[in-house]
Every structure is written in structure tokens, then in C-alpha cells.
Amino acid sequence: MNKRYAVMAVVLITVVGLVSPALGNKVEPGIIPGGEFGLVYQCGFSDANSVVLDGLLTDLAWRFAPWHFVDHKTGTGPAPNDDDASIAFAAAADAEWLYVAIKVTDDKIQSGEDLGNDVWKDDSVEIYIDPNNGKTQEYEKKDGDWDAQITIGADNIGGNIEAPLLGGTGDGAGTGTQAAVVETKIGWDVEAAVPLKSPGKWDIKPADGMRIGFNIHFNDDDDGGERDHKLIWSANDLDDRSWQNPSRFAELEFVDAFLSVGPVGKLATIWGKLKK
């Protein structure tokens, strides 16, 4: 590792973990730069990466992953301010899972009124996957090229991690996704694990520079009625059509990087491919 990146690693060890609520759209670099807001998220992958699915977002992987912040104005249904509705998200991968962490700032948590594919009317987040990055106008539904919208509602707070309540287009509930959801002082956090191999749907094999279609949405319900605000990360999705049109997705790029470090109690050493 050259001196430039050695210094960066030491700084990140002490600073990156202090992720704050969204204050304007931005990319907070991790061990890797992080991509371009609304277009590409750079996701570190390594067989040795480790995430404990508990919703607490305390894993070292999240301290070293890039974070993208989405403010209250970005989407088809803007909120009054960031305290009302905003999100920050990060992703990491190991040999079996694509992990997605979403920190939701939400001043009024609404859940339990709508279930399954209608959970978008309540507080919920959506993870979009296009495994072959086909950018088709309609959802592909064939083995290996199965596009999916995976909807995770606030009704999962404190619920079953291995069998969460899921909804979404393209059989999002049938992808094998697991999720831990916890309430926080400013809203709620989601820690999801999307299988890289989902039988009958896809078999994603990460390689350095490989890209899949990807997007993140946040539905915010303030009063227990219909959805009040809709935030969207992808810059391609100006009309909220990702739920039926994968060409509106942005992209996730896999980058060969070891995001979990150790040993405990000692200065961490960073392994991985560090890109400019």
C-alpha cells in the first residue's frame, strides 16, 4: 500500500464510522471512492467481508463502505425537510450476500396498515436489482435475468430476520432476502441481505468492475393514510417508474475490496484494491 492510501486508511478508521443524517445529496467515500451519486454505487466485495444481520449497523464493513446521502427534495414526492424524510445507504458483499444498509430519517413512523405489495403506502424502503443490467423497459422474468423490486416496510421493526415481511414487483418477497429493521432516535434502520444466488431468479458472481442494475427508494407516510413523500436515489428515475421499468435503475459496481478488518483492539490493516 502506498503512503497516500495508508494515510487515508488510518483517517477512515477513526472517521468513516461517524455517519450523520443526510444533509444534501452527497457521496461519503469509504476505503473505495464510492461512485457517482444517482448513477453508480461502488460496492466492495470480498469472501472475507463480514456483516452480522441485526439492524444495528455497527459492523466494520459499514464503517469502511461508501455512503450515499439522499435529501428530502430528491424524488417525485419531496418532503418539507431532512428531519421529515431523508436516507443514507451503503452496500457490501461477501461470497453469498449483497448487504444493503439504509439509515432512514423519519419523524413519524407509520406501519401495519398495508401489507405485502401494498406496503409502499406506509413507511418502507425499496431495493431494486437487475442482475444482468439489461436496462429493459419491462421486468425480465427468466432464470438468470430476473428483475426485482424488494420492498421492506417499517412493519418489520423487531421482526423475523430470516423471514421478513416483504413486498415488491418481480416477486421481491420470493428472492430469499433477509432483513433486520430497528427503530432509532431519528427514525429507523434497515440491514438487508440479498442473496447473490436466488434459485430461479439469478446467480450473481461479483467481479472487479462488474455492474448490475440497482436503485433505492424511500416511501414516507406521515399521517396513516396514503404515502406522503417519495425519495429516489437513481437520477434516471425522474417519474417513479422503477417498479415497472428497469431502465430507470442506476447501477451498482462491484469493486474488489476487503471492508471487514481486524484484529479487535489493534490498529486495523486494510486489504483490497484501492482505486482513484
Residue 152 corresponds to which amino acid? I
Q: What is the CA radius of gyration of the chain?
A: 17
- 12's enclosing H/E stretch is helix 3-15
Cβ neighbours of residue 36 closer than 8 Å, sequence gap 6 or more: 27
Q: What is the distance between the alpha carbons of residues 103 and 188, in angstroms, rounded to a whole number?
A: 7
**Sign of the dihedral through C-alpha 117, 120, 122, 123:** positive
- Give the model's pLDDT for residue 151: 98
Count of alpha carbons within 13 Å of 12, Cβ hemisphere only?
Answer: 26
Give the mean pLDDT of the chain: 89
DSSP 90-132: EEEE-SSEEEEEEEEEESS---SSS-GGGGGGSSEEEEEEETT
Are the beta carbons of 105 and 82 closer than 8 angstroms? yes
Burial of 164 (0-12, 13-18, 19+ CB in 10 A): buried
Quick count: other Cβ atoms within 10 Å of Cβ 98?
Answer: 24
Q: How far is 190 from 152, CA to CA, in rounded Å?
A: 8
Give residue limits of the domains in the chain: 3-256
Q: Which residues of the chain have pLDDT under 70?
A: 1-23, 261-276
CA distances from 86 to 5, 18, 23, 165, 180 (A): 31, 17, 8, 22, 19
The predicted pLDDT at position 176 comes to: 98
Side-chain half-sphere CA neighbours of 187 within 13 A:
28
Residue 174's pLDDT is what? Answer: 97
User: How much is the pLDDT for 115?
Assistant: 86
Residue 92's beta-bridge partner residues? 44, 99
Q: Given this model, what pLDDT does residue 136 score? A: 98
CATH of domain 3-256: 2.60.40.1190
Q: Which residue has the cell 444466488?
A: 197
